[in-house]
Amino acid sequence: MLAALAATLVWVPASDASTLVDRHAAGVSLKVNARGIALLTYRAKGVARHVLAWGAVNASRTHLRLDYSGGWKSRVADWRRFTNVCGPYTGPPIPFVTLACTAPDGSHWAVQQWVRIKPNFGGVRGAHELRIAHWTGAPAVLEIYGDWSKYRDATGQHYHHLFGRYTYRGRPVHGRRSTPTGVPLDRFGRNVYVDSLDSDYGPGWRRVNAFLARSPRGQFCFEFGPKVGFGPSAENNTGRSSRNQYRAMVIGPGVSPDVLVGFAGPGDRYDAAWDRQMNALQRELVGHPSRGCGDPGGRDG
């Protein structure tokens, strides 16, 4: 079960990490010059854009600087006279890749595009985000296990449940402040976005929920059960995959690449002995239930 693995042209001095550049972009190209400045060229809303990105690598900083003017505002480079030195990509496999390359200093650059925000409890549509990452070494690790909840449905079937942790280079990834509903209030916080395949929300991949990787271990857990108070879809369905297939996605720490993990649920036949083993692993990974795992229902499995 382990699956480890701006319409106006202005200079924006800082942006969130990996770094969100734009939405619904097409015809994307990526270049990097000898000074470590990247140039993204693309079209969005029918307008050609030339965006410079620089100033961060890995998780040493939480953002890349962006210049949407193509250089006349920041003067760090000029998109019209930009020499690319970035070669073929030699880094680890990463998801959502549109373009990637490896610079002469050994660092990697990648453009990732994916739909991060969808409505919870069955959403399938959202803005297609264009994000850029700059890193060395391995990406972050989203570690997920599937087991059963101690709670059951009306037929006596245990709800599916997941737990895990988010780490980077052996250190937990989590924020310091968030809203009561789990929205990060700083640039360190990360939500884990979970979809299920062919669930009671409908066919195909659909969003089940999103929840925080929490302090102090980057831990999280979630039950695929009814969520009272969130409307009919949430109260009458669970998001349980009829194919026992799930996926989880999360933004990379700092400006490292975003992460995708596919994982299987525990299946339909409850195994008490195996579930006890998984509960022991959950306590080892995420600690005492009083710390909270990220399940808005408070059911820690």
pLDDT tens per residue across span 75-98: 999 999 999 999 999 999 999 999
Please answer whether residues 174 and 213 qualify as being in contact, where contact means their C-beta atoms are separated by less than 8 angstroms.
yes
pLDDT, residue 291, reads 59
pLDDT, residue 281, reads 87
Q: What is the C-alpha to C-alpha distance for residues 199 and 273, in angstroms, rounded to an integer?
A: 27
Which segment of 110-114, 264-268, 281-285 scores lowest on mean pLDDT?
Answer: 281-285
Please write the tens of the pLDDT for every residue from 180-201: 888 888 888 999 999 999 999 9
pLDDT, residue 283, reads 82
CATH domain 141-291 topology:
Immunoglobulin-like (2.60.40)
Q: Give the mean pLDDT of 37-53.
A: 97
Q: What is the C-alpha to C-alpha distance for residues 242 and 190, in angstroms, rounded to an integer?
A: 28
Confidence of residue 284 (pLDDT cuts 50, 70, 90): confident
Q: Is the pLDDT of residue 134 over 70?
A: yes
Please write the tens of the pLDDT for every residue from 233-242: 999 999 999 9
Q: What is the C-alpha to C-alpha distance for residues 230 and 233, in angstroms, rounded to an integer?
A: 8
Regarding pTM above 0.75, the answer is yes
Higher pLDDT, 18 or 149: 149
Confidence of residue 11 (pLDDT cuts 50, 70, 90): very low
- Which two tokens mark 223? 């039950």
What residues contact 154, with CB distance under 8 A and at least 6 apart?
none
Mean pLDDT of the chain: 88
Q: Is the pLDDT of residue 32 over 90?
A: yes
Confidence of residue 280 (pLDDT cuts 50, 70, 90): confident
Q: Give the mean pLDDT of 138-163.
A: 93
Where do the CATH 2.60.40 domains begin and end in the chain?
141-291
Higher pLDDT, 206 or 301: 206
Q: Is the pLDDT of residue 301 over 70?
A: no
Please answer whether residues 257 and 18 qualify as being in contact, where contact means their C-beta atoms are separated by less than 8 angstroms.
yes
Please answer whether residues 237 and 199 qualify as being in contact, where contact means their C-beta atoms are separated by less than 8 angstroms.
yes
How far apart are the two ends of the chain, measured CA to CA in Å?
Answer: 16
pLDDT, residue 186, reads 87
Which segment of 11-25, 31-45, 60-74 scores lowest on mean pLDDT?
Answer: 11-25
Find the radius of gyration of the CA atoms of the chain. 21
Residues paired with 197 in a beta bridge: 205
Is the preceding omega at residue 216 within 30 degrees of 0, hence cis? yes
Please write the tens of the pLDDT for every residue from 210-227: 999 988 899 998 999 999
pLDDT, residue 180, reads 84
pLDDT, residue 204, reads 98
Confidence of residue 288 (pLDDT cuts 50, 70, 90): low
